[in-house]
């Protein structure tokens, strides 16, 4: 029996969705498949998102930016949107049982010095980590 797939959506699929994908995969890959995509993919994964996750021991450097329509022919158990635009644009996927929306600030829009911008990425990473590790605990307890 295959593991259920959780698809995490954002607009650009460059920061938040990749951080959430990496964190959730790290926490629950033994129970679920995890993927991410965007409604208007940027075409890259933000280097500061990669750095922020490396700081907590999670490597997302091999991730690629994908369009949410790439998953329309796949059986998706749960869709989680992490930004408002993706929540509004999100289609229904075959087999979809659950949908959640947990919005996070977009660190790609942070302004200031390199250090100040990196601090925003860390703050968003830590917020995502808190939510998605709690979600993983719910999966382990038998909830989606």
Catalytic pick among 10, 28, 35, 79: 10
| Residue 6 β-bridge partners | 34, 78
15 labelled catalytic: no
Is domain 5-140 in CATH 3.40.190.10, yes or no? no
Q: What is the pLDDT of residue 124?
A: 98
Q: pLDDT tens-digit profile of 3-21?
A: 999 999 999 999 999 999 9
Which residue ranges make up each domain of the chain? 5-140
Catalytic pick among 28, 60, 79, 90: 90
In order of 28, 53, 92, the CA distances from 25 in angstroms are 5, 12, 22
Q: Are 74 and 96 in contact (CB under 8 A)?
A: no
pLDDT over 70 (residue 132): yes
Structure tokens at 87: 């929540």
Catalytic pick among 6, 35, 76, 83: 83
What number of other Cβ atoms are within 10 A of residue 47's Cβ?
A: 11
Q: pLDDT tens-digit profile of 77-119?
A: 999 999 877 667 777 787 888 999 999 999 999 999 999 999 9
């Amino acid at each position: 029996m295959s593991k259920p797939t959780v698809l995490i959506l954002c607009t650009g699929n460059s920061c938040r969705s990749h951080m959430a994908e990496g964190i959730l995969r790290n926490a629950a890959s033994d129970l679920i498949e995890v993927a991410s995509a965007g409604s208007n993919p940027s075409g890259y994964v933000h280097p500061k998102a990669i750095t922020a996750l490396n700081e907590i021991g999670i490597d997302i450097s091999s991730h690629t930016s994908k369009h949410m329509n790439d998953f329309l022919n796949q059986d998706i158990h749960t869709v989680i949107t992490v930004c408002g635009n993706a929540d509004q644009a999100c289609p229904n996927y075959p087999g979809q049982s659950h949908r959640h929306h947990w919005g996070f600030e977009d660190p790609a829009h942070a302004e200031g010095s390199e250090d100040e911008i990196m601090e925003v990425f860390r703050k968003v990473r830590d917020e995502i980590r808190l939510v998605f590790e709690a979600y993983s605990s719910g999966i382990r307890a038998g909830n989606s």
